[in-house]
Amino acid sequence: MADYDVVIRGGSVYDGTGGAPMVADVAVRDGRVVAVEAGLPEGRRTIDAAGKWVIPGMIDVHTHYDAEVLTGPGLGESARHGVTSVVFGNCSLSTVYAEAQDCADMFARVEALPWEVVNDAVKEHKTWVDPKSYVEAIGGKPLGVNVAAFLGHSDIRVAVMGLGRAVDANERPTSAELDRMAGMLAEALDAGFVGLSTIRSSFSKLEGTRFPARQLPSTYASWAEYGRLNSVLRQYGRVHQSTPNLTSRVEIARYFAQSVGRLLGRRPLKTSLLSAADIKADRTVARVAVGAAWVTNRLGRGDFRWQHLPVPFEVYADGIDLVIFEEFGSGAAALNFRQVLERSELLKDEEYRRRFRKDLSKRFGPRVWHRDLGDAQIVACPDASVIGKSFAAVATERGITAPDALLDLTVEHGAALRWRTTIANDRDDVLDRLQTSPMVQIGFADSGAHLRNMAFYNSGLRMLERVRLRGFMPIEQAVHRLTGELADWYGLDAGKLTVGARADIAVIDPAGFDGASAAYAEAELPGSGVSRMVNRNDAAVAATVVGGHVVYEYGTFAPGFGTTLHAGTFLTA
């Protein structure tokens, strides 16, 4: 009689390759799938999957769990949504080389994470000195899901040049320093990192007391510096992930050019860029972005992908604490004041208000936020009379402008004023086209970041729910896009549910797709005392299996999850 650790019985099995499903049992032994067929005997643990979908665990390729994995290695917000593998180190940010204070300065503002949380996590837990020892240190933690990592360009730039020089526009690395950065990248790729992450976005600002409001170090690099590092990536066939300056289409064209391969007699450079989005402020963006990627890949023989969030891009703000305020002068100026009293004085100043009104009234030019305060709903405020209203509606009642209504309420109530708006992905037909485009990969959940602004931990589940409801692609294709396609492109041992594959599995209960997946919820960031936005649609995930361990079932984590249970591993490319 076969001796199985886990048997998942009678579900519709999707193998992650895009093939049609089959009703079968799945048997697991020693962390691997050993059989996929009907009529298997009982395992030590048997999960009834009748009427459910049995799929490879989903892969989240854009997270910022770099600090959280140190203090809460279970990464439960991903595991509870059927995600079994995550990639961090995105947007030029990693914790491999830089010291704690530098990491905190780099992560805190751009990723909306508490400075102390990042600083304390790295300071307390850092035992590594290079990529190889980093992989060993992270892999030795009681991981609840598998992890993989990019090496952050800002990380190595600071380690080589020092933070001060790295964020000085008049400084350039010496030849020896550039050689050292290239060597660091090669060491990381040898250790199994999936690639290098960079950033050009004007949103990327430093926190802390030393160089506040300067941009992240990667934005100060020349394209020649990028080119040197890209040559290392080409040699290894690894990925360049980046967040561009979306207001500069000429600069974005450089990313297309760097991906072009055989047309120029060279190996294509895998390039993954944020973001394919149907932006409310500019409805041409999605079509132009996908078209440009098609030209790059088909005619230029590149290997370029846009990352795409497969759900409406809804964001929340406490007062004006929201990254989209970074994209215009008066908004960034207010965010530069981190002390509440100082910021309030600025927001009351009439000269400042004139600038703010002018910035919000601009209707032309590239932007991310539509700046329509009639499309911004107040969801919490000590003044109950404004809850449920837009700032434009409040302004009409008070006989003032909408920007003044926002500033008045922020001055009066500070972070107790909470509001939301949707900045992109609000049209179902456009989302359908993006999610079926081969120029797009499903990603950009930003898990572990922007704790009070957004929560897309369950974006993969929400995509499956959309597909089931709207039928714009077969379920097996959607599963492939969320699993095997990503694993193959990033070079990870994940994303397949076939004999011999890692036993990373999600059992999805489609009866749990009840329309509640976008509902608002909050929970504590593990070990921090900080409340963050999360997702809670526990009826949709019957079980999550990582490395052959059943780590989660219908809202309940396994004993020892994130503390003594070692389920996940560090996946090397």
Q: Where are the beta strands (DSSP E) in 153-285?
A: 195-199, 239-243, 270-274
Q: Considering the domain boundaries, does residue 379 fall inside one?
A: yes
Distance CA 415, CA 338 (A): 12
Tell me the pairing of strands 556-557 and 549-553: antiparallel
Q: Considering the domain boundaries, does residue 412 fall inside one?
A: yes
Position 1 scores a pLDDT of 52
Q: For residue 441, what are the β-bridge partners? A: 307
Q: Considering the domain boundaries, does residue 161 fall inside one?
A: no
Distance CA 548, CA 295 (A): 42
Q: Considering the domain boundaries, does residue 525 fall inside one?
A: no
Name the 3-class secondary structure at 168.
Answer: coil
Tell me how many domains the chain contains: 1
Q: Considering the domain boundaries, does residue 87 fall inside one?
A: no
Range of the structural domain that residue 407 is part of:
316-424
Do you find a cis peptide bond into 275, omega within 30 degrees of 0? yes
What crossing angle do the helices spanning 100-107 and 153-161 adopt, rounded to 10°?
Answer: 140
Residue entry with tokens 């910035």: 359
Residue entry with tokens 């230029």: 300
pTM here?
0.96
Say how many C-beta atoms besides its own lie within 10 A of residue 265's C-beta: 6
Position 235 scores a pLDDT of 96
Q: Considering the domain boundaries, does residue 336 fall inside one?
A: yes
Distance CA 512, CA 499 (A): 28
| Nearest residue to 53 (alpha-carbon basis) of 573, 554, 508, 541 | 508
pLDDT along the chain (573 residues), means of 10: 90 98 98 97 96 98 98 97 98 97 96 95 97 98 98 98 97 98 98 98 90 94 96 97 84 90 83 94 91 94 96 96 92 87 92 96 82 96 98 98 97 96 97 97 96 96 97 98 98 98 98 91 89 94 98 97 97 97
Q: How far is CA 105 from CA 9, 22, 241, 385, in A?
A: 49, 50, 21, 38
Q: Considering the domain boundaries, does residue 390 fall inside one?
A: yes
Tokens read off for 412: 């009066």
Do you find a cis peptide bond into 78, omega within 30 degrees of 0? no
Alpha helices in 471-528 (DSSP H): 475-482, 484-490
Tell me the pairing of strands 195-199 and 146-152: parallel
Amino acid residing at 385? S
Contact 493, 504 (CB under 8 A): no
Residues 6 or more apart from 256 whose CB is under 8 A from it?
Answer: 292, 293, 295, 296, 300, 302, 304
Position 149 scores a pLDDT of 98
Q: Considering the domain boundaries, does residue 321 fall inside one?
A: yes
